[in-house]
Structure 1
Amino acid sequence: MRIVSGSYGGRPLKTLEGKITRPTSDKVRGAVFNMIGPYFDGGRVLDLFAGSGGLSIEAVSRGMTSAVLVEKNRKAQAVIAANIKMTKEASKFQLLKMEAARALKSLTGAFDLVFLDPPYAEEEIIKTIEELCERRLLSEEAMIVCETDKAVVLPEEAAGLGIWKQKIYGISKVTVYVR
C-alpha cells in the first residue's frame, strides 16, 4: 500500500497483519478521492476508525490542513504512528488512542471531511453521524465518507444529511453524505 497522490504521493504505507483492520486498497482510496476531491484547499479531517491511517494521511497529502485519527487497537496505533512519521509532517496529525465514542465526547471544533469505516457498519454509522451533528462537529460544507461492505444498505438521510454519491468497488461500498 502507498499514498496515491499529493505531496506524499508514492510513499509506502504500513498496514496491520491479520483481520484486526481492513485497510482501504490503493485503488479504492484513489477512487474515493476522485469522487470527493480529488484535491483540497485546506480543512480538518476526522478519521474515527483509522486502522492504518491511510485515508486521513491521503487527505492531508491532497491538501487538507490537519487530521485527527482515532483508533482503539494498540497494534493499529503503532502502525498509524509509523505512517504519520513517514510524512515528515507529524504536527499535521493528532492520534487519539481511544474508542470512537469516547473521542466524540472530547473533540471540539468543526471538521470538513469525516471518514467512517466502523466494524459494525450500519448501526454504528447512523449513530455516529447523529452524534457528530448533535455535538456540532461538522462544518457547513462537511462531507462524511462511509466505507462498508457492498451489502450494507444505509438510509438516504441521517441527521439532516443526505446521500450525495454512492459507488461500489469490488466488495466495498462508498457512501458520501452531505447537508
Structure 2
Amino acid sequence: MRVISGDKRGLHLKAVPGSTTRPTTDKVKESIFNMIGPYFNGGVALDLYAGSGGLGIEAISRGIEKTIFVDQNKKAIETINHNLAQCHFHERAEVYRNDAARALKALIKRELAFTVIFLDPPYAKQNLANEISIIVDYHLLDENGIIVCEHDSQVELQEEIGQAIKERTETYGDTTISIFTYK
C-alpha cells in the first residue's frame, strides 16, 4: 500500500495489523482519485472509516488542505498516526477514535462542510444510505462536494438519497465505488 500521486508519491504506508480492516487497493484508490480529482486546490476531507488513513493521506498528497480521520479501532488510530508522521502530515490532520454515528454528531456541532467525504465501512457493517442522509441533511458536504462510498459489489445504493444524487458507479471485482453529490 502506497501513496499513488502528489507530494508524497511512492511513499509506502503501513497497513492496520490483523484482519479487522480491508485496505483499499492501490488500483481502486487510483481509480477513485481519477474519478473525483485527480488533484485538489485546498479544501477539507473527512475519512470516516479511516483504517490505515490511506484515502485521507492520498487526498492531502493531492492538494487537500486538511483531513479529519475517524476510526473506532485502536490499532487503526495508531496506524493512522504512524502514517501521518511518516508523511509529515500531522499538522494537516485531526485524528479521532470514535464510531461513525457519534463522529457525525460531533462534526454537525462544529458546523463543518467537507470538500470530499470518504465512506469505506467494513462491508458487514454498512449503513451508507443513512450516513449519506445525515451528511446532506446537516450540510456536512460542501455545496460542490463529493461523497465517495466504497462498498460490496452486492450492495446497490439508491440513485437518490435525500438531497444527494449518485453521479457515478464503478465496480472492481467485489468492490464498488459510488460517487454522490448534491442534486
Please classify the TM superposition score into its range, dividing by the shorter chain length.
Answer: over 0.9
The answer to whether the aligner puts 1:142 opposite 2:155 as a matched pair is: no
Q: Which amino acid aligns with 1:161?
A: A
Kept in 1, the 8 Å contact 2:115–2:142? The answer is yes
Q: Which amino acid aligns with 2:65?
A: T
The alignment's TM-score, normalised by the length of structure 2, stands at 0.94
Aligned to 2:156: 153
CA shift digits 1:5-56 (9 cap, x unpaired)? 0001111100023321110011110111011111111110001110110001
**Unaligned regions of 5+ residues in structure 1, if any?**
none
Shift of 1:131: 1.1
Aligned length: 179
Shift of 1:106: 1.1
Inter-CA distance 123–50: structure 2 relative to 1 (3 Å threshold): closer
Aligned to 2:181: 178
In 1, Cα distance between equivalents of 2:126 and 2:3? 30
The alignment's TM-score, normalised by the length of structure 1, stands at 0.96
CA shift digits 1:39-95 (9 cap, x unpaired)? 111110001110110001001100111000001000111111101111112110100
Secondary structure of residue in 1 paired with 2:16 = coil
Please give the residue correspondences for 1:9-20 in structure 2 after superposition, counting only pairs within 5 Å. 9-20=9-20
Kept in 1, the 8 Å contact 2:39–2:63? The answer is yes
Question: Runs ≥4 in structure 1, deviation > 4 angstroms?
Answer: 120-123
Secondary structure of residue in 1 paired with 2:127 = helix
In 1, Cα distance between equivalents of 2:148 and 2:11? 23
- Give the CA RMSD over aligned residues: 1.3
The answer to whether the aligner puts 1:6 opposite 2:6 as a matched pair is: yes
Shift of 1:170: 1.8
